[in-house]
């Protein structure tokens, strides 16, 4: 694999840098720099999406006919890396990176024509309805029922850990339409209008204090059958396809590389146990060097995955990338907390730009923070990242998938 950049790639990088310099306001940069998780401040994220949409860069990984960009893999990587370097807030992944691909692959023309433009311009904002209180990693055991009634499905039950449900106007959900001997059968993939009567959203307080995730209750909610994606009882196929994009359809390596570079710079500003800069401590420097090497390995693997987004091999690669990316991210945030030191032990979310409101917290009247803003972000980013090895299918489940699909084990 040739990883060198051509003259055209360098010209594209310069074009991206110029665009970011011109369009990223200080407010948007702050939202990206002080974000505490992969889910950024909602208003900043949507404002940035509008700017990207106007340029035609909101969803570069989509097919060109739906609004994507005819970019090479290197250009995708360059854009992702330069965006992180410039401090751009990330876009919410549920619509652009996840359900949009499933709609493009399984949707009717009517569904594509309605949802894809709305996802692109931000007027349609999706959340994900997969997990239930009794169905997490074993997602196929889900029980939220959808009973046929004329042209509708009547949905009753609840979903949990639903990120940004309070901001979303649509939810894509897996529902139980029949019961068979094999639990993966009888599941249907539906698109539900969040303004439908009978839906209630209750926020969940995360370990970081943020209200980003929610439990969503459905009480006799009527969903038109025309909002089924794929076929009734065959939603598991759609869900598996979507999970390829959730687990490994993007590129984590550019962001993780920037995180290690930023951590290296931050560690040069604080004092280590020997009295000199922390970055010069041999143990710390060795651990950081290992993480930087692992991000380069992840980069190569993501290039492979992005070129093979179909078939069983792509699914195996997605599971592998999900494991490597989330566990590497956790290691980076662990080292970040160590670098933050005593200042990182102080709970001060007012110095950050969290992905949701922080309830029952009263910031100091003068806005004082101990240390630097990155030291306030570090522990909250660490707390958010603990969920990385659980969401999108726990890493234990991903290892089982790899054992079967890649190693042929039963």
Mean pLDDT, residues 63-67: 95
**Backbone dihedral angles phi then psi of residue 57, each to the nearest 5 degrees:** -120, 15
Q: Is 356 in a helix, a strand, or coil?
A: coil
The answer to whether residue 100 sits within a structural domain is no
pLDDT 10s digits, 292-348: 999 999 988 887 766 665 445 566 777 888 899 999 999 999 999 999 999 999 999
Residue 368: Cβ-neighbour burial (10 angstroms; 0-12, 13-18, 19+): exposed
Percentage of the chain exceeding pLDDT 90: 67
Q: Which pTM was predicted? A: 0.85
The answer to whether residue 33 sits within a structural domain is yes
The answer to whether residue 162 sits within a structural domain is yes
Same domain, 162 and 213: yes
Same domain, 23 and 136: no
Same domain, 11 and 68: yes
The answer to whether the beta carbons of residues 316 and 406 sit under 8 Å apart is: yes
Number of domains into which the chain is organized: 3
Domain housing 352? 250-405
The answer to whether residue 26 sits within a structural domain is yes
Same domain, 217 and 293: no
pLDDT 10s digits, 373-399: 999 999 999 988 888 888 777 888 888
Phi-psi domain of 180 (left: phi exceeds 0; alpha: psi -120 through 50; beta: other): beta
The answer to whether residue 198 sits within a structural domain is yes
The answer to whether residue 216 sits within a structural domain is yes
The answer to whether residue 358 sits within a structural domain is yes
CATH number of the domain bearing residue 162: 2.40.110.10
Mean pLDDT, residues 352-379: 91
Angle at 206 between CA 202 and CA 209, to 5 degrees: 105
Find residue 284's DSSP bridge partners: none
Same domain, 297 and 391: yes
Same domain, 273 and 398: yes
Q: Is 276 in a helix, a strand, or coil?
A: coil
pLDDT at 1: 47
The answer to whether residue 200 sits within a structural domain is yes
Same domain, 272 and 401: yes
Same domain, 278 and 341: yes
Q: How far apart (Å, rounded) are the C-alpha atoms in residues 157 and 144?
A: 5
Same domain, 312 and 388: yes
């Amino acid at each position: 694999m040739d990883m060198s950049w051509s003259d055209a790639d360098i010209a594209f990088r310069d074009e991206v840098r110029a665009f970011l310099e011109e369009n990223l306001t200080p407010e948007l940069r702050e939202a990206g720099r002080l974000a505490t998780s992969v889910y950024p401040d909602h208003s900043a994220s949507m404002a940035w999406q509008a700017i990207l949409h106007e340029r035609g860069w909101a969803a570069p990984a989509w097919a060109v006919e739906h609004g994507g960009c005819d970019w090479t893999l290197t250009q995708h990587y360059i854009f992702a890396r330069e965006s992180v370097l410039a401090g751009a807030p990330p876009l919410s992944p549920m619509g652009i990176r996840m359900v949009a691909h499933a709609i493009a692959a399984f949707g009717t023309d009517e569904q594509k024509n309605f949802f894809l433009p709305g996802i692109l311009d931000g007027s349609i904002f999706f959340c994900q309805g997969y997990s239930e209180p009794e169905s997490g990693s074993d997602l196929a055991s889900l029980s939220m029922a959808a009973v046929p009634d004329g042209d509708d499905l009547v949905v009753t039950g609840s979903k949990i850990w639903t990120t940004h449900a309070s901001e979303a106007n649509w939810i894509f959900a897996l529902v139980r339409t029949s019961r068979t001997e094999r639990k993966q059968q009888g599941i249907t993939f539906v698109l539900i209008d969040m303004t439908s009567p009978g839906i209630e959203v209750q926020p969940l307080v995360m370990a970081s204090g943020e209200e980003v995730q929610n439990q969503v209750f459905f009480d006799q909610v009527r969903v038109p059958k025309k909002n089924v994606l794929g076929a009734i009882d065959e939603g598991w196929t759609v869900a598996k396809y979507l999970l390829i994009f959730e687990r490994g359809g993007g590129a984590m390596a550019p962001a993780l590389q920037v995180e290690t570079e930023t951590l290296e710079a931050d560690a040069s500003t604080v004092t280590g146990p020997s009295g000199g800069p922390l970055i010069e401590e041999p143990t710390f420097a060795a651990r950081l060097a290992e993480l930087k090497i692992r991000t380069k390995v992840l980069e190569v693997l993501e290039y492979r995955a992005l070129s093979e987004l179909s078939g069983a091999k792509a699914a195996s690669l997605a599971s592998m990338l999900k494991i490597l990316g989330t566990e590497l991210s956790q290691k980076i945030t662990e080292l970040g907390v160590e670098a933050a030191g005593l200042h990182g032990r102080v709970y001060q979310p007012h110095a950050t730009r969290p992905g949701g409101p922080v309830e029952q917290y009263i910031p100091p009247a003068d806005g004082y923070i101990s240390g630097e803003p990155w030291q306030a972000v570090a522990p909250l980013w660490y707390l958010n990242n603990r969920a990385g090895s659980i969401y999108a299918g726990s890493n234990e489940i991903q290892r089982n998938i790899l054992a079967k699909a890649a190693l042929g084990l039963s």
